[in-house]
Chains A and B, each alone.
Chain A
Amino acid sequence: QKEVEQNSGPLSVPEGAIASLNCTYSDRGSQSFFWYRQYSGKSPELIMFIYSNGDKEDGRFTAQLNKASQYVSLLIRDSQPSDSATYLCAVRRSGGYQKVTFGTGTKLQVIP
């Protein structure tokens, strides 16, 4: 079982719709959760992080965390063609130094 699992996609949504990206993780000791956006040929860019159960909103982005279900998601409202990218979910265990573990990413295509 992979530590962090994501559907590779592509996930296609029409412009203006809500894109929902999902991620599950296997380590119950995970404490910190991150979403990165990576455009083709570019480096990953941090867009959201969440530590507590529930929702965290930042502009058009909402991260949702459910530790009991070991599930984290990213919602993108009013999707734009510029949101087309690969979205990487990442987790980190609690306690001192712990490396960040990444999923393989979900490719999102926003259709104009």
Chain B
Amino acid sequence: NAGVMQNPRHLVRRRGQEARLRCSPMKGHSHVYWYRQLPEEGLKFMVYLQKENIIDESGMPKERFSAEFPKEGPSILRIQQVVRGDSAAYFCASSPYREGPDGYTFGSGTRLTVV
């Protein structure tokens, strides 16, 4: 029973390129949450998705960032035209419930470095 799977583990992009981060939830989970952690900072909520729906994107920057969770396949967090300030660790968590589990189980994260 695999946990939350994220890939790639490490991603290096040059400024202006696109970054695609993937998150496969635990089996049977249809709710996905994305968080970003800047160096030496706490986790900041970005977006909550259910299959084919964005439920809460209040933490997502209005420009360059988008997220999806299609009917089939992993959830994708997409960052267009990356800048140095996008360098961070991006974590996702999944849940079988709308109200969230008794705490999240996070994937191992994707560490994005923009050079």
Contacts and interface: CB of A to CB of B under 8 A. Distances in A.
Interface of A: 4, 32, 34, 36, 42-46, 49, 88, 90, 92, 96-105
Closest 5 CB pairs of A and B: A104-B42, A46-B103, A102-B43, A43-B106, A102-B42
B86 to A, nearest CB: 19
B41 interface: yes
B104 A88 contact: no
B103 A49 contact: yes
Interface string B70-102: 000000000000000000000100000011101
Contact of A92 (B35, B100, B106): B100
B25 interface: no
A104 B43 CA distance: 7
Q: Chain A contact residues: over half helix, strand or loop, or mixed?
A: strand
B99 A97 contact: yes
Interface of B: 33, 35, 41-45, 48, 55-56, 58-59, 91, 98-100, 102-109
Given A44-B91, A99-B33, A99-B48, A104 B100 contact: no
**In this complex, which of B44, B103, B108 has the most chain A Cβ atoms within 10 angstroms of its Cβ?**
B103
Contact of A43 (B41, B48, B58, B108): B108
Contacts of B98: 96-97
B42 A43 contact: no
Given A44-B106, A46-B105, A100 B45 contact: yes
Contacts of A105: 42
A100 B42 contact: no
B99 A96 contact: yes
B24 to A, nearest CB: 15
A70 B45 CA distance: 21
A49 B48 contact: no
A49 B100 CA distance: 13
A97 B104 contact: no
A99 B91 contact: no
A100 B100 contact: yes
A99 B56 contact: yes
